Structure 1
Amino acid sequence: MKFYYDLHIHSSLSPCADDDMTPNNIVNMALIKGLDVISLTDHNSTKNVEAVHELCQHKGIKFIPGIEVQTKEEVHVLCYFFDILDCLKFGEMIYNSLDCVKNNKYIFGNQLIMDKDDNIVDEAEKLLLSSSSFSVDEIFRMMDGIGAAVPAHIDRTSYSIISNLGFIPNISNLKTVEVSSTFIHNSFVDECIKKYKVITSSDAHHLGHINERINCLDLDDLDMIVDWMCK
């Protein structure tokens, strides 16, 4: 069966995202656009995962718990989890590893933590656009057995594994990579990714940027998505 997805969405917790990227707005926009499965992948924190997960359960959309980690090499890696509790624990570990640089919301934007009714219940204090203390290799080792680690937007000229390292390392549990929805094929990137599975997500920071019903995975069951990315 074909399942339409967007597995790279930011909420109002990410300082670079709009404040109207609330849990309800994200889930309702996914419904409007006819998506079967979404993932919330905020920068270096999972504090809005529970709210979006609960709403997806209520609305009948498959939800993949996630986070976008910035490694110490400033490479963005998407991490997807089989279990939401593992996601929340991992998110705490990543957040705690950030330097104690406070967010300046007037420069970087708000970092809003919300409940399922879109009430603001807290704000993340540390700047979430900082790098964690973990390397690319360490993130992949940490994710082994609990989910899938996927290098994000590898076609971009910043914060990608190719732009920052110059290549894709030979990591045993690296099976899937992400390209941008605006990806323009070129020989170098095409050569780098030819042995990997490829997903295409929006990296939405604004409601209108959430994927249309375009990109799909052909799987027997929606519950197989994270497993498929691991193998």
Structure 2
Amino acid sequence: MKIAVDLHIHSGLSPCSEDDMTPNNIVGMAKLKGLDAIAITDHNSVKNLKAFTKVAEENGLILIPGVEVTTKEEVHLVGLFEDLEGALLFQEVLDQHLPKIPNNKKVFGSQCLYNEMDEIIGEYEHLLINAISLNIEDTVREIRSAKGIVFPAHINRRGFSILTNLGFIPPEFGFNTVEITESCDYSALEHKHSYLNKFIKIRNSDAHNLGNLLEREFFLEVDELSVKGVIKALSKM
């Protein structure tokens, strides 16, 4: 079956997101837009996933546990996990390698932790938009060891893109999928980097506000409507 997905969405835990990116607001907007599955992918943290998972389950929406990691090279990678346990295992890696620099919310914005009723139960103290101390290769290995899949984020952008920062996608990382944003001219990218025609492209919103979530625009072919079904489909791509 084909399902509509948006697998790169930030909650209010990401300091660059708007304050209304709460569990019920995001799940409600995803349902309103007709999405079947979404992923919450906050910067360098999975600490909002428990609340989002509960709200999504109550509303019949598939919620993929995810994260957007900033590697040592300042490249953004999206990691998606089979289950919450794998995501929380990777959180231990992030706790070890994220610089312990306090967040200044007046400058960078709030980093809110929510419960399933959209109540703020705390704020993450360390600034989440910093690069962790692991390079791309080590980050990929850690995500995969937590039963996750990983792909380079928004490769068409100038900022925090693997193409911008490295100039190419090294084959030894084993990527077979790349993420693009809605405005991407993929044919132009392929003209510049001919090897990109070997990659499967996935389009996500990288939404930091409710209005930017995708409509029913990008579809995955899955065997079953479940988290594992989505991960399996992405693994085949």
Please state which band the TM-score falls in when normalised by the shorter chain.
over 0.9
Is residue 154 of structure 2 the alignment partner of residue 149 of structure 1?
no
Is residue 230 of structure 2 the alignment partner of residue 228 of structure 1?
no
Matched residue of 1:144: which SS? helix
**Residue 165 of structure 2 corresponds to which residue in structure 1?**
164
Is residue 223 of structure 2 the alignment partner of residue 217 of structure 1?
no
Runs of 4+ in 1 over 4 A off after TM superposition: none
**Residue 80 of structure 1 corresponds to which residue in structure 2?**
80
Q: Which is further off, 135-144 or 19-28? A: 135-144
Q: Count residues with an aligned counterpart.
A: 231
Matched residue of 2:68: which SS? strand
TM-superposed CA distance for 1:189, in Å, is 5.6
Structure 2 regions of 5+ residues with no counterpart? none
Matched residue of 2:128: which SS? coil
Q: Is the 8 A contact 2:112 2:123 kept in 1?
A: yes
Give CA-to-partner distance per residue, 1:42-94, whole Å, 9 cap, x none.
00001111111111111111111000000000000000001211101212321
Give CA-to-partner distance per residue, 1:12-66, whole Å, 9 cap, x none.
0000000100011000000000100000000000111111111111111111100
Q: Is the 8 A contact 2:220 2:233 kept in 1?
A: no
Equivalent residues in 2 for 1:1-231 (5 A)? 1-145=1-145, 146-171=147-172, 173-185=174-186, 186=188, 187-188=190-191, 191-222=194-225, 223-231=228-236
Q: Is the 8 A contact 1:139 1:149 kept in 2?
A: no
Q: Which has the higher helix share?
A: 2
Query: Aligned partners of 2:197 and 2:7: how far apart in 1?
Result: 21
Query: Aligned partners of 2:184 and 2:212: how far apart in 1?
Result: 15
TM-superposed CA distance for 1:192, in Å, is 4.0
Query: Aligned partners of 1:171 and 1:61: how far apart in 2?
Result: 35
Query: Aligned partners of 2:211 and 2:30: how far apart in 1?
Result: 10
TM-superposed CA distance for 1:169, in Å, is 1.0
The verdict on how the C-alpha distance between 1:20 and 1:72 changes in structure 2, with shifts beyond 3 A counting, is same
TM-superposed CA distance for 1:190, in Å, is 5.9
Query: Aligned partners of 1:189 and 1:2: how far apart in 2?
Result: 31
Query: Aligned partners of 1:175 and 1:57: how far apart in 2?
Result: 30
TM-superposed CA distance for 1:172, in Å, is 5.4
**Seq. identity, %:** 43
Q: Is the 8 A contact 1:140 1:173 kept in 2?
A: no
Superposed CA RMSD in Å reads 1.4
TM-superposed CA distance for 1:171, in Å, is 3.0
Q: Is the 8 A contact 1:3 1:217 kept in 2?
A: yes
| TM-score (ref. length: structure 1) | 0.95
Matched residue of 1:117: which SS? coil
Query: Aligned partners of 1:96 and 1:211: how far apart in 2?
Result: 33
Query: Aligned partners of 2:136 and 2:235: how far apart in 1?
Result: 16
